[in-house]
Every structure is written in structure tokens, then in C-alpha cells.
Structure 1
Amino acid sequence: MSLDFGLKDVHVLITGAAGGIGFETVKIFQQLGARITAHYNTKIGALANLAGIVTLQADVRDEADITRLFKQAAEQNGGAVSVLIVNHGIWPAQDTGIAEMDLAQWRNTLAVNLTGPFLLCRAYLCALRAAGDEVKRTANIIFVGSTAGKFGEALHGDYAAAKSAVMYGLTPTLKNEIVAIAPRGRVNSVNPGWVATAMAEEALQDTRFVARALATTPLQKVARPDDVARQIAVLASPILSGHVSGQNWMVDGGMEGRLLFPPQSRKSD
């Protein structure tokens, strides 16, 4: 039996689409028949090999770039964006405690991981105001958060702070604001723990570290990018999740918390 997600011909904008989770999300939404605009920052990567999608570059920290992104998405992909998936993000590789962190790192992480989502959501909502009822019918925003936003992350406080603000600040706020523009509009966050992406490749080679990282995870496994992408698709569906809004979906194998790691440890969500 086939399952209709109600996303055929729906315009979906996915940020950070060249990365592991973003790329798998693009492929899943392609299978569901959506019209996809795939955003990237510096490297288009494997997106260049996918037919039938619109690829657009933008710096999410730049207000003018974000305005241009939504304008070009509408012009090149059949009208206004209906579903916004805020997937992009950075995780500074160097372990740095708050006491040692310089202001430049803090500012850049928050600029990408928090100000970027603000700029994207603002531009999306402004465009949604002028959109037709068909676009508004499937309107929703999905953030990709992190277990770091729920449990914190020693030596990566900048990343944890930004993710927490998105998950517990923007998500519940925007779920109340979007309905003033699109009465059935929804906002949710999908929050993974460990995911086998290129960003986590080095850390995942250390089996002892992985064992410690999964110590409070009942499923005792690292997620794949498509594990997260499928949850994004389910939440985006007006048929499967049309009455779900303001929620934080943890895609973390049942993680209950974090163990303390030694300073030399490496971690990425």
C-alpha cells in the first residue's frame, strides 16, 4: 500500500542541502514528488548530480543574500516556498571551553546557527504573506536541532546555546506566529544525536569514544542521515502530521543524557 504524504508539487526549500542530512532530505523529498530548492553555501557537492532540483547559493549570515535566496527560489521554482527546512549549521571542530572561547568563534557560530535561522524564517514568513491559499495550506517550518540543545555539550557551548535557542525559543514562538499568516501553518524541530556524516567521521573512528557517547542510548547505534531525513519528511507532511506543531522530536535512539568526557574528546551531532 502506498502512502500519500501530501507533498506532491509542494515547494520545499532545504538549507545546508549539500551536507549529509540535507542531501538525504533532498532525495527523500524528490521521491515524494516535491519541488525542491536546495541551498548550499560554498560547495555544491553531489547536489550538482541531481536532476530536477533548483540549487541556489547563499550565505545565511547575510540579510541581502537571504532576501535574494527567496526571490530566486520563487522565480526559478514555480512560486513561493511552502515548506522551509532549516538544516544548515556549523560545529567548530576545536574543543573549546567557555572560559577559553574567543568572541569571534562565539559570534560566528551564533551567526550561522541562530541568526541564520532567524533571517530565513523572517524572509519565509514575509513571502508567505503574499502567497496564495495553496501555498499556505502546506506551510510549515522544520528546524534541525541537536541533542546538544537539550543536554548541552561540554567544550562546544556556542553550538549548544544556538541549538537550544532554536529548539526552545524559536520553535514554540513561531508556531504561534505562523498561524496569523497561514492558519494551518506549523513549526517543529527534529533533533538528532550522533549521525554518521562527514562532520562526525573522525570522531566515529574512535570506538572507545563512541561507546561512551552511546552509553545512555538504549538503541546503542549511530543514526544514518536518512534516519533523520525520514522524520523531517513525516513532520512536513500535512497528512501525517497536520495536527503536530511546536514540538521537538528527538531522533537520538532514546538518549537519556550525556556522560562527562575528558577535555581531549571529540563530539559532533
Structure 2
Amino acid sequence: MSLDFGLNDVHVLITGAAGGIGLEAVHTFVQLGARVTAHFNSNIGELANLKNVVSIRADVRNEASVNTLLEKAGKQNGGPVSVLLVNHGIWPSNNAHVADMELSQWQNTLAVDLTGPFLLCKAYLQALRIAPQAVKDTASVIFVGSTAGKFGEANHGDYAAAKSALMYGLTPTLKNEIVSIAPRGRVNTVSPGWVATPMAQETLKDKAFVERALATTPLQKVATPADIAKQLAVIASPTLSGHVNGQNIMVDGGMEGRLLFPPSSQ
């Protein structure tokens, strides 16, 4: 039996596509025959070398910039976006207890990791209203969440709060709203645990940290970007996951929780 993902010639917009999970997702969706638009913020990186990908810069914190991103994607890549993969995000590497966190850090993390997804979904759904039926038939929004959104993460409350809002607030809300525009439209979240990405590189050099992070994970491994990208493709597929909607899918090796850090690290 051949496995058809049903993504050939489907327009997929991937945010935060310049590295890590995003870049791997770009390669994966291209291999499946999708028309990929890759968003980046400041550094285009390896995207500059990809011939079959449309790369567009945008500041996800800015509504006008996001609206322009969706407009350019439609004009430069064969029509409106059908699959919106909200992958971008920031994870401030400094440890900041809520009692000590600067308001500016909190506001910036939520602006990127939560307001950005809101603006993207708003622009996407508005464009979907007037899109051809073929685009609506494969409509899908996929958020990249995190185990931080499920279990919390000491010293990274800004990131945990934003991811939790995507996983448990926006996902179940939008899965009920998208169908008023696209009756077969779906909204899901794929939530990784620790992934060996450039954003996590420095943190994962600490062997003691990795041991604590994997202490409740049966598979005892840090995921690769490919582990996550493959799952994103499966969820985006209208043939493989056409009846999967409103779900938060944990791709975390079976993690069951977190160990508390020693008091001295608080």
C-alpha cells in the first residue's frame, strides 16, 4: 500500500523556518510535494540556498507585517495558504524566576510566542474566507507547542505561559471557529519535549541538566528536528489525519513530568 500524504501542490506556510524544527519541516514538506513558503525574522540562513521555496521576512509581533506576509505568500507562491504551521518562538536562555523576571522579557516573549500566532491565525483565516474551495478542503493550522506548556518550566514562566495558551486555549477554540470558514478545516498542536535545535544548543551542553530533563522520559533521548517534522507532516496530511482535530499531540518520548531543580538554582 502506497502512503499518500495528500500534500502535493498544497501551499504550506512555515513560520520560524530558518533553523531547527522549522528548516527540517521545510525540507520534509518539499519532499512531499507541497508548495512551501518559509518565514524568517532577521537571518535567512540556509533558506537562501533553497530553490523550490519562497522565503519571506516578517516581524510576527507587527500586524501589518503579518498581513503582508500572507499577502506576499499568496501572490508569490501560487495562491492562498492552505496549511499554516506556526513554528516560530523564542526561549530566553537566561534563568528568570517569576519574582525576578523583567516585565520587558515577559512582554517580548508573549508578543512573539502568543500574539504572533494570534496575528498569523487572524490573517490566515481572513484570507481563507475568500480562498478557492480546493484550498479550504485542505485547510489546517498546526501550532508547535512544548512540554513546558503542559508541565510548566521553572525559571521560564514566560515561555511556558505562551505555549500553554496555544495548546489549551487557542487550539480548542480555533478548531470550532475554522469550520465556519472551511468545513473540513482542522486545528491541532504538536508539542515536543527537548529538541536538539540551535535555540537549545547551549542548554543541552549541560549533562546534569539533560539528565534531569530526561529523568521521567522512558525513551531517554533528546529529539531531533526530524522527529518533530515528520509528525507535523502527518498531522498536516488531510488523508492521514483528516479526522484529527483539536488535539494536543505530545512528541516527547513519553515524558511524565519534571524533576525539581535544587534550591540553589532557584
Match of 2:101 in 1: 101
Q: 1:15-50 CA deviation, whole Å, 9 max, x = no partner?
A: 000020000000000000000000000000011111
Match of 1:4 in 2: 4
* Cα 1:126/1:104, change in 2 over 3 Å: same
How far apart are the structure 2 equivalents of 1:123 and 1:207? 42
Match of 1:87 in 2: 87
How far apart are the structure 2 equivalents of 1:84 and 1:221? 29
* Cα 1:264/1:42, change in 2 over 3 Å: farther
Q: 1:215-245 CA deviation, whole Å, 9 max, x = no partner?
A: 0000000000010000000000000000000
**Post-superposition offset of 1:93:** 1.1
Match of 2:242 in 1: 242
**Post-superposition offset of 1:262:** 3.5
How far apart are the structure 2 equivalents of 1:94 and 1:128? 39
Q: Secondary structure at the match of 1:142?
A: strand
Q: Secondary structure at the match of 1:223?
A: coil
How far apart are the structure 2 equivalents of 1:262 and 1:173? 38
Within 5 Å, give how 1:1-269 maps onto structure 2. Answer: 2-262=2-262
**Post-superposition offset of 1:263:** 6.6
Amino acid of the residue matched to residue 110 of structure 2?
L
The TM-score normalised by the length of structure 1 is 0.97
Q: 1:64-117 CA deviation, whole Å, 9 max, x = no partner?
A: 000100110000001000000000000011100110011111110000000000
How far apart are the structure 1 equivalents of 2:102 and 2:259? 26
Q: Secondary structure at the match of 1:150?
A: helix
Q: Secondary structure at the match of 1:170?
A: helix
How far apart are the structure 1 equivalents of 2:255 and 2:7? 31
How far apart are the structure 1 equivalents of 2:168 and 2:19? 24
The TM-score normalised by the length of structure 2 is 0.98
Q: Secondary structure at the match of 1:90?
A: coil
Q: Secondary structure at the match of 2:55?
A: strand
Amino acid of the residue matched to residue 231 of structure 2?
Q
How many equivalent residue pairs?
Answer: 266
**Post-superposition offset of 1:142:** 0.2
* Contact kept? 1:95, 1:264, Cα under 8 Å: no
**Post-superposition offset of 1:4:** 0.6
How far apart are the structure 1 equivalents of 2:41 and 2:159? 19
Amino acid of the residue matched to residue 23 of structure 2?
F
Amino acid of the residue matched to residue 82 of structure 1?
S
* Contact kept? 1:95, 1:263, Cα under 8 Å: no
* Cα 1:80/1:259, change in 2 over 3 Å: same
Unaligned residue ranges in structure 2 (runs of 5+): none
How far apart are the structure 2 equivalents of 1:56 and 1:2? 34
Q: Secondary structure at the match of 1:93?
A: coil
**Post-superposition offset of 1:2:** 3.5
What percentage of aligned pairs have identical amino acids?
Answer: 73
How far apart are the structure 2 equivalents of 1:183 and 1:143? 19
Comparing 45-54 with 110-119, which one deviates more in the overlay?
45-54
